[in-house]
Amino acid sequence: MLVSALIYLSPAASAAVVGDLYNASVDVADQELAQRQAGFSSALAEVLIKTTGSKAIVQRPSVVDALSQASQYMVKYAYVERPIAPAPLLEPVLTDSTLTDTNFIETSLVEPQQSGETGVALAEVPAYRLSVQFSKGTINGLMRTLDLPIWPANRPEILVWVVEQSASGYRFVEGPELPKDLLASFRQRGLPVQLPLYDLGDQLALNSLGAWSLNREKLNTAVQRYGIDHWLVLRYSKVASGAIRGSWYLGARSGNFAGEGAVLNTLQADSTADFLQSSVDQVVDHLAGQLAYFADAEASLFRVVVENIGNFAAYSQLNDFLSGLEIVNGVKVRSIAGDTITLDLATEGESRVLLRALNKEARLSLITELGAANDTQVSATTAQTSRAVAYFRWQAAR
């Protein structure tokens, strides 16, 4: 079935599998039941925002109902104590360890400290971080039941530059000057990012003026050394009123990103932190809107022909990868000929979403364009005389 002349396309786009989509940590005032239940709801909201790619998803009435029952989707939780301020206390505080919940909690004893001058007992007022792990299976089931968009965990990794214009010129915002919440904002939205090193290699490839002027050629050169195909420029300046005005520019070395060319958008905010947060939200909303899919009620078949599967270990690696894709409901071996295996994938979304996931896997090299395969031997349960098919070469993990 393979064509005789193998035409290899450009390398697959870099991507990262986000591993903490079903975990979240939120602040709570204490370990009482009311705070705990509210924390579960907040944590589930964060998880749904990450898995769907939509920050507005939590406003849907059906999602609001699910948030009120967040404990049903939870696997376990734990408290992390974070002292925030000293306050007078007459006796030690013991966290409640007699709760009847089936899940575990951590307990700790806060000992008072004596003041050398007044002799008044002082203790740190506890604030807690509630860490919650949800069940991947039940969350995925909830998303399909509520007909929510599904953003696969295999997502593009992005290199991010932040550039400021001031009276003295242009400069990269880096190190301690970079708002600490920037990376946290990307992490909370489930988008893997990396910051430049700003070393000599970066300086030779791209200066602050080149980044501000959105010089695409220089941006492509600068991002190449990181093994990342996608980049984002966040540029801003302060206007006379004191507000921040800026724009974000999203692009890729391949010249095509999520089905379209580079994207530029401008916005204004009250502060630098607000500008950066708004930019992150807009960028992630845009990406998720391009990359997410809705599960179909009935699964469709997609045929994949893969070369270089020479042993059972290679087959196991391929099968584990394919079975782990959110869009794939089942993997069935159609035929084996030498080191070439033909598989039928039962999918619940559009073929473009599956192709993106396959193209982002470093061990798969696309050989031919998407086409159609005629097969008169397909059973009645999958009665299609033609179906989407793609041919790949597999590189086994070393």
Residue 2 within any structural domain of the chain: no
Question: Where does a domain end: 92, 112, 145?
Answer: 145
Domain shared by 167 and 267, yes or no = yes
Contact 113, 105 (CB under 8 A): no
User: Is 386 part of any domain?
Assistant: yes
Q: Final residue of a domain: which of 291, 324, 358?
A: 291
pLDDT attached to residue 139:
96
Q: Provide the pLDDT for residue 259.
A: 44
Angle, helix 181-189 to helix 272-291, in steps of 10 degrees: 20
How confident is the model at residue 72, as a pLDDT?
A: 95
In the chain, how many domains are there?
A: 3
306 and 326 share one domain: yes
What is the per-residue pLDDT for 182? 94
The CATH number of the domain holding residue 195 is: 3.40.50
Q: pLDDT at position 301, please?
A: 82
Tell me, yes or no, whether 24 and 128 share the same domain.
yes
Residue-number span of the structural domain to which 32 is assigned:
20-145
CA dist 70 and 155 (Å) reads 26
**Residue where a domain stops, chosen among 117, 145, 173:** 145
- Do 251 and 177 reside in the same domain of the chain? yes
CA distance between the termini of the chain: 28
pLDDT of residue 369: 55
Residue-by-residue pLDDT tens, the chain, 398 positions: 332 222 233 334 457 889 899 999 999 999 999 999 999 999 999 999 999 999 999 999 999 999 999 999 999 999 987 765 554 444 444 444 333 343 434 433 334 444 444 444 444 444 899 999 999 999 999 999 999 999 999 898 999 999 999 999 999 999 889 888 899 999 999 999 999 999 999 999 999 999 999 998 999 999 999 988 899 999 999 999 999 999 999 998 865 554 456 788 999 999 999 999 999 999 999 999 888 888 876 667 888 899 988 888 888 889 888 888 888 888 888 888 888 989 888 888 777 788 888 887 888 888 875 554 444 333 333 334 346 788 888 876 44
Q: Are 152 and 60 in contact (CB under 8 A)?
A: no
Q: Specify whether 304 is located in the same domain as 331.
A: yes
Half-sphere exposure of 9 (CA within 13 A, CB side): 17
Residue among 315, 390, 381 at smallest CA distance from 355: 390
